């Protein structure tokens, strides 16, 4: 191995080590906050009852937590890009203890030039909170809400879908199959399961595929634009959507 290769390896190792250390520090501070919410973590302020990242935290992010509710996380990682997903995630938060969302556009960059897309960006406040939360509950679910346009899909199945559900890979658990069936029965929509009914928008490159704690179950939920528009004007439909996910 020549000197150039050695230097490159050392640089990559150092960068990975620093990133891991930063994530662990942020996770630790959020773990303390979960135990004592009077101790506001560094880089955050309390606004309307939520933890909101200050400018000093490159990733940004907003964290809502309440003591009561199902042990689940409602998560809108692209609030500015996937229209209405934050409003839908807020409705789901009525069933869950946690709501996570971004405060910077998905195409923003950090100090190292990395794109701050919360579905792919490892060193984020959302990931840190998920790791912190995992140590406070026995088990939990993560419902990550996305949006898609039917006309941009590359397959006939994708163009006909109202929802595409996955767990970030091609194998669906019984829980995912049950959620899809509930959505079909209760909402009368075309809910497809990635790997079984459709082979696009499966969240296979999502950071939570590798980062989600072992006591969690990650659900990647893609909603068509048409369905998002229906959900935000129909409270009964939105409530039933939330119940299908969490019941």
Percent of the chain with pLDDT over 90: 91
pLDDT tens profile 94-119: 999 999 999 999 999 998 999 999 99
Query: Which two tokens mark 99?
Result: 């709501």
Query: Which two tokens mark 213?
Result: 């704690």
The pTM assigned to this predicted structure is 0.93
Quick check: 14 pLDDT over 90? Answer: no
Q: What angle do CA 213, 171, 223 make, to 5 degrees?
A: 80
Q: What angle do CA 35, 38, 41 make, to 5 degrees?
A: 80
Q: What pLDDT was estimated at residue 8?
A: 43
Q: What pLDDT was estimated at residue 1?
A: 53
In eight-state DSSP terms, residue 109 is B
Domains, the chain, ordered by start: 3-246 (3.40.630)
Burial 230-247 (b: 16+ CB within 10 A, else e): bbbeeeebbebbbebbbe
| Segment 217-241 mean pLDDT | 98
Residue 20 banded pLDDT, cuts 50, 70, 90: confident
pLDDT tens profile 145-171: 999 999 999 999 999 999 999 999 999
Q: What pLDDT was estimated at residue 222?
A: 98
Percent of the chain with pLDDT over 70: 93
Quick check: 12 pLDDT over 90? Answer: no
Q: What distance in Å separates the CA atoms of residue 169 and residue 177, rounded to the nearest whole number? A: 14
Contacts of 210 by beta carbon, 8 Å cutoff, 6+ apart: none
């Amino acid at each position: 191995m020549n000197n150039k290769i050695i230097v490159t390896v050392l640089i990559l190792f150092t960068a990975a080590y620093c990133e891991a250390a930063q994530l662990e520090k942020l996770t630790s501070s959020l773990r303390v906050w979960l135990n004592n919410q009077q101790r506001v973590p560094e880089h955050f302020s309390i606004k309307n009852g939520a933890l909101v990242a200050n400018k000093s935290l490159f990733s940004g992010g907003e964290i809502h937590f309440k003591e009561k509710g199902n042990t689940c996380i409602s998560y809108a990682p692209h609030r500015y890009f996937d229209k209405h997903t934050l409003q839908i995630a807020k409705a789901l938060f009525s069933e869950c203890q946690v709501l996570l969302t971004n405060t910077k556009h998905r195409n923003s960059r950090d100090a190292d030039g990395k794109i701050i897309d919360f579905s792919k960006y490892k060193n984020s406040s959302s990931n840190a909170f998920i790791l912190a939360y995992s140590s406070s509950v026995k088990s939990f679910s993560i419902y990550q809400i996305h949006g898609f346009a039917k006309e941009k899909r590359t397959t006939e199945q994708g163009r006909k879908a109202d929802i595409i559900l996955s767990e970030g890979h091609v194998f669906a658990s019984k829980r995912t199959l049950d959620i899809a069936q509930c959505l079909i029965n209760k909402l009368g929509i075309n809910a497809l399961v990635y790997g079984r009914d459709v082979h696009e928008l499966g969240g296979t490159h999502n950071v939570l595929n590798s980062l989600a704690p072992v006591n969690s179950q990650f659900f990647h939920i893609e909603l068509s634009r048409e369905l998002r528009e229906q959900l935000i004007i129909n409270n009964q439909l939105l409530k039933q959507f939330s119940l299908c996910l969490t019941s």
